[in-house]
Structure 1
């Protein structure tokens, strides 16, 4: 097996309109919606950085400049904080800033699906392995979910996706794997199908919004073949890598919150507040009052 390239790149598809959160997302990107006091996009970037990711590509749409501004230097704000002696807040801003040149953006002009969004980042990806993080899937893990995938990539040298079990009756909402041998938390992927009918689903192991993929997937995406929903599905192109490259699912350790859904977003607020010593007592009191 050839030497593995280090995993240093991540693609974040953030071009969606966030229609399920209107009117809040009329002028604000849905990825800027905060959970407690941090926007979804920042959770995703911090998760990736914890896995050793150094370069980020945001696949954006019109009106999404705020996403990049979140990681820029806010000169006026920092000056004011300095003048007011708010060192704690300054340190927090400095910790979240990314080194110059760490972020690039590319535009997905038309909403043709997740596969198309990844294809739009092809120049950034080049010939390197890359992670994909969907910020709508907010992960609460002791070890960064992307770190867990990166560790699996370093072990297997191939494609890796985060998977979780869901009730059989909702498998038609997800990409579903056809599982092979299981070793620890690694599951061999023998096949992939996007949003199958419940009766035809090969398992109830579904792919969530965390991936580590080899650059060869771009060649398959470039064919622009339409799949479920008449969109260019990432799952379809990933499936074509099976057999020619190692492909595994990782039964990750942690919890996922679907923040593309209002109920999931509200649950994330509660869970992340309860996980913070400075917020947990107040949140418990709030929950008691509304029980």
Structure 2
């Protein structure tokens, strides 16, 4: 049973400078909701209420977002604002814990900070800058797979062949339409070197064995400890599977994808989807002229 989740959210967000000089990239809003709130909500919707968020320097806004703000709450209550209930829900979403990654030393290093929190239990990992829209939460999908295989499970998605060099790519033996038993991880391979077109999608269920694997994994480029390298070591002792999830992933790691995500979510928003679509059509018509 998976009871705990870890959300790494310590990255500097340099692609969004100057906006992220004083604001965490995970707090950049999709319409009116910070990216990381979607991620926490996915864990909660999957039945996980014990969540460790790994932050870094300049990330205090994440803690403040999920904390109580008595002055704001009182003001909304007096005004009988409908947002009062929404704001109150934030601090009650889950049992949230925070720890600061002391230096930017890679995703593997960030996961190491979860060792005391997760102990000898398997746990979920959800990257703090990746939203996945799905009918069943992807973390729940992975938890169901874990219950069957009792091994680490990694969410993957199919990507175009000419884009495999942007991702960590997995390879292995197909068990079913959506499941592979993995035998290799290749970080940002060339088209020729890619073992498949399945890219790691920012969601994992990891066994406690990952910590021994991380201990045994040397730091690589830029003196960073990579999770994919540790997973390669984990394969020496344990089975690791991938699951091609059902849903759509939104990577908020670059400006163009961030803009696209806001547009798509706006078109799903009941409050203003119709007028916003009319606006987009007008803009497109203008540029066609």
3-state SS of 1:199 partner: coil
Partner of 2:266: 273
Partner of 1:3: none
CA–CA distance in 2 between the matches of 1:222 and 1:286?
A: 53
Provide, for residues 97-130 of structure 1, a one-character-per-residue CA deviation record: whole Å limited to 9, x for no partner.
Answer: 2368x12221211111110111122111211111
Matched, 1:207 2:200: yes
Partner of 2:51: 56
- Count how many residue pairs are aligned between Structure 1 and Structure 2: 284
CA–CA distance in 2 between the matches of 1:228 and 1:9?
A: 30
2:168 pairs with one of 151, 170, 175? 175
Partner of 1:92: 86
1:67, CA displacement in angstroms?
0.4
2:24 pairs with one of 20, 23, 29? 29
TM-score of the two chains, using structure 2 as the length reference: 0.93
Report 1:71-86 matches (<5 A). Answer: 71-86=66-81
Aligned partners of 1:160 and 1:247 also within 8 Å:
yes
CA–CA distance in 2 between the matches of 1:195 and 1:122?
A: 27
Q: Specify every segment of 5 or more residues in structure 2 that has no aligned partner in the other structure, as ranges.
A: 285-289
Matched, 1:104 2:97: yes
Report 1:235-274 matches (<5 A). Answer: 235-242=228-235, 244-274=237-267
CA–CA distance in 1 between the matches of 2:133 and 2:275?
A: 20
Provide, for residues 190-240 of structure 1, a one-character-per-residue CA deviation record: whole Å limited to 9, x for no partner.
Answer: 222222333211111111111110011011212351235542110111122
Partner of 2:275: 282
TM-score of the two chains, using structure 1 as the length reference: 0.92
Aligned partners of 2:31 and 2:265 also within 8 Å:
yes
Matched, 1:147 2:147: no
CA–CA distance in 1 between the matches of 2:275 and 2:15?
A: 29
Aligned partners of 1:194 and 1:228 also within 8 Å:
no
Partner of 1:222: 215
Partner of 2:287: none
CA–CA distance in 2 between the matches of 1:60 and 1:159?
A: 24
CA–CA distance in 1 between the matches of 2:247 and 2:276?
A: 21
Partner of 1:20: 15
Mark the CA change 1:20 to 1:51 in structure 2 (over 3 Å): closer, same or farther.
same
CA–CA distance in 2 between the matches of 1:75 and 1:14?
A: 26
3-state SS of 1:276 partner: coil
**Structure 1: 4+ residue segments shifted above 4 A:** none
CA–CA distance in 1 between the matches of 2:251 and 2:214?
A: 26
Provide, for residues 241-262 of structure 1, a one-character-per-residue CA deviation record: whole Å limited to 9, x for no partner.
Answer: 2253332111111111111111
1:20, CA displacement in angstroms?
0.7
